[in-house]
Structure 1
Amino acid sequence: MIRRLSVLLFTLFLLTSCAVPPDSPRFQSSGSLPPYDQESFDQYVRETRAWIANNRAFISEDRDLEIELNTPFEFRPDKPAKRGILLVHGLGASPWYFIDIATAMANDGWLVRSILLPGHGTRPADLMLADNEDWEKIIAHHAELLAAEVDELWLGGFSTGGNLVTSHAFTDNNVDGLLLFSPGFYPGSSYLFLAPALAYFWDWLDIDDEDNIATYQSLPTHGASLYYRSVSTVQKNLDTAHFDKPVLITMSQHDSVLNPNATLTAFQNRFPNRKSRFVWYGDTPQNLDDPRVTAFTSHLPDRRISTFSHMNVLFAPENTYYGQAGSYLMLENGQDGLAPPDDPETLWFGAWGQSGAEKYHARLTWNPYFDDLLDDIREVTGD
């Protein structure tokens, strides 16, 4: 979702034009947001599911599946849980992004909940209705609900969600640790600061075909502004304080959205706990002297993988939608001059914009090291 912010914001800055949406419900807001402060998580799930069913601009024949992938969910282990984790998705994404990690953690005895950030789950235009206070309040509310049921509270976040849960953890003593997947602390775009101002003049930063039932493809300028404000908040926290509790951070060296090296530096300087781990997908960073950092090569030619993407860390190869043989193939990947091959067996996979040697790269949407990631989670959390 935020992969092209640098190019798009710079283009809008130079050109006095804007993206004009087609006449479609997907680009017209629902008019209001659903409540998120229910007294119980069960009630929150029921009412949010009903809201999605009534307000979603559906893009496929399988409406039930679209509702399912965008609805908040809870997994309870077989025995009463002493530990719980609240998971928060990224900009444009959905609670379902955590389905594989949530399943594994519930099997390990965790009470797992994944929430829907206001503005998501229905249509891209609904991102115009949300503000950062909505996002901060929903995390605070559901962290409090979960803390009342468990002895140990963890928060997890992907991309923008990583920013939000980290900022909350600096203010909430109940939080015992963090799991952060491609956290959006340091964007790769130097023009992101323009987003709040541009939002006053242009409604849409990017308009794409909406063919992915788990993710918005289009981005209102206000959505980029929300991400910018999450960056500003988390960077202020990281500039002034340490987070002394355990944290797991994952990052791809070739992340097209973020500045991976800045995130690694922040881990070394701001997350001092000896149990913490940084999982780096790519070449081993030079002059690295931190035993808490583990590198996995992201160049796997035997699997036609050139690099790891911003999103692929979250998904098991067996995932039925984004997995190695999943039903959704992310072909549109920011390449010029090449057309997708007719034979999918000749496709290569990588980060946004990956190209080279006449190889067409689709987006890598699964993690070949998913089982290793689960082991790292267990190590950091003390399982």
Structure 2
Amino acid sequence: MPVLPGAEPYRHEGGEVGVLLCHGFTGSPQSLRPWAEHLAGHGLTVSLPLLPGHGTRWQDMQLTGWQDWYAEVDRALGELLQRCRQVFVLGLSMGGTLALRLAAKHGPAVQGIVVVNPAIKLHGAAAHVLPVVRHLVPTTRGLTSDIAKEGVKELGYDRVPLHAAYSLRKFFGLVDGALPQVTQPLLLLRSPRDHVVPPADSARILARVSSRDVREVLLEQSYHVATLDHDAERIFEESLSFIGRLAPIAGQKGSTSGG
């Protein structure tokens, strides 16, 4: 299936500091594109891949699982590690979960982590019946466009494939168990008025990681997709400052490619 306009992956060849951005469940690179372009504009090498099954139609996602999504960001990280001296991993929602697994698996190869409204558990009674319900009902209502800013829409699916949601639940459990293996500097930004991921997820992540260099920032004006919301500029600047502190060599500009 063709990729939806605006959902294309993004790549920028910059300097020797690389950044991998991971988008969320049922979303697309569109939700992180302004963030990626901001970092690229400051000379970083940027990779924003499209996760398998995303950015086309929900039926394609029904055929994928967490192993496919993780394999794509792991591949993109490998490319950056070959190209750059220092690499950071950033993510929104499930993209934050992917970032945490990459950090746990790759250790010091990942210089630092930035997560925005990260998820670590499926909440509610529906999560417990997924093993059975996914065989009876193909989808449920979508999760996209939880944004306070008027006129802004997230490009994502209006349906959640339940086979994929079941795989996500298993992935959350896997990453939750590995959180103590995360030792890198961590910047966590969260929206108190998030209607998708409760604050308990961020609290659990902060309590379980082994990172000593940790900062939490509240995004008071935004909902879940804060990277497209009122606090977007703060996310961009906070992450850039975080990267600059840990990687002083960040700087030279390069060329851009999208699609």
Tell me the TM-score range normalised by the shorter chain.
0.7 to 0.9
Amino acid aligned to 2:160: L
Match of 1:26 in 2: none
Matches of 1:76 and 1:213 in 2, distance apart? 26
Q: 1:142 to 1:177 in 2, by over 3 A?
A: same
Q: How many residues align?
A: 235
User: Is the CA contact (8 Å cut-off) linking 1:156 and 1:178 kept in structure 2?
Assistant: yes
- Give deviations 1:191-213, integer Å, cap 9, x for gaps: 323223321222122379xxx68
- Find the counterpart in structure 2 of residue 83 from structure 1: 17
Which SS does the other structure have where 1:155 is aligned? strand
Deviates more, 1:224-233 or 1:125-134: 224-233
Query: Matches of 2:201 and 2:138 in 1, distance apart?
Result: 31
Q: Distance in 2 between matches of 1:140 and 1:373?
A: 24
Q: Select the residue among 199, 209, 220 that pairs with 1:270.
A: 209
- The offset of 1:251, in angstroms, is 1.1
Residue 83 of structure 2 aligns with which residue?
Answer: 149
- Structure 2 counterpart of 1:252: 191
TM-score with structure 1 setting the length: 0.57
1:70 aligns with 2:7: yes
Trace 1:78-117 onto structure 2 (pairs within 5 A): 81-117=15-51
Identity %: 21
Where does residue 226 of structure 1 map in the other structure?
167
Q: Give 1:93-242 correspondences, 5 Å limit.
A: 93-173=27-107, 174-206=109-141, 214-238=155-179, 241-242=180-181
Aligned equivalents of 1:108, 1:83: Cα separation in 2: 11
> What displacement does 1:270 show?
1.9
C-alpha distance 249-104 of structure 1, shift in aligned 2 (>3 A) = same
Please give the root-mean-square deviation of Cα atoms over the aligned residues, in Å.
2.2
CA distance in 2 between counterparts of 1:91 and 1:280 reads 22
The residue type equivalent to 1:374 in the other structure is F
Matched position secondary structure for 1:138: helix
- Out of 235, 239, 249, the residue aligned to residue 373 of structure 1 is 235
Residue 253 of structure 2 is matched in structure 1 by none
Distance 1:217 1:267, change over 3 A: same
The SS at the match of 2:112 is: strand
Work out which of the two has the higher radius of gyration on C-alpha atoms and give 1 or 2: 1
**Cα deviation code 1:280-336 (max 9, x no counterpart):** 23xxxxxxxxxxxxxxx44xxxxxxxxx3111x202xxxxxxxxxxxxxxxxxxxxx
In the TM superposition, what is the alpha-carbon distance from 1:138 to its structure 2 partner? 1.3
Relative to 1, partners in 2 of residues 1:277 and 1:379: Cα closer, same or farther, differing over 3 Å? farther
Structure 1: runs of 5+ lacking an equivalent: 1-29, 31-50, 53-65, 282-296, 299-307, 316-365
Q: Secondary structure at the match of 2:105?
A: coil
Contact 2:93–2:116, Cα closer than 8 Å, also in 1:
yes
Does the 8 Å CA contact 1:188/1:256 hold for their aligned counterparts?
A: no
Q: Is the Cα contact below 8 Å between 1:162 and 1:181 reproduced in 2?
A: yes
Instruction: Answer 1 or 2: higher relative contact order, Cα 8 Å, separation at least 6.
Output: 2
Give the conservation status (yes or no) of the 8 Å contact 1:204–1:221: yes
Aligned-partner Cα distance in 1 for 2:48–2:123? 27
Q: Say whether the 8 Å CA contact 2:87–2:111 is kept in structure 1.
A: yes
As a proportion of its length, which structure holds more helix?
2
Q: Secondary structure at the match of 1:109?
A: coil
- Tell me, yes or no, if the aligned pair for 2:22 and 2:48 is still in contact at 8 Å: yes
Instruction: Measure how far apart 1:216 and its partner are.
Output: 0.8
Say whether the 8 Å CA contact 2:103–2:184 is kept in structure 1.
no
SS in 2 for 1:172: helix
Counterpart Cα distance in 2 of 1:130 and 1:181? 24
User: Is the CA contact 1:89–1:159 (under 8 Å) kept in the aligned structure 2?
Assistant: yes
Query: Which amino acid in structure 1 is aligned with residue 172 of structure 2?
Result: V
State the alpha-carbon separation in 2 of the partners of residues 268 and 380 from structure 1: 20
Q: Is there any run of 5+ residues in structure 2 with no aligned partner, and where?
A: 144-152, 249-259
Cα offset, 1:376, TM superposition: 1.6
CA contact (8 A) 1:90 1:161 kept: yes
Q: Decide whether aligned partners of structure 1 residues 141 and 262 sit closer, same or farther in structure 2, where only a CA change above 3 A counts.
A: closer
Q: 1:196 to 1:118 in 2, by over 3 A?
A: farther
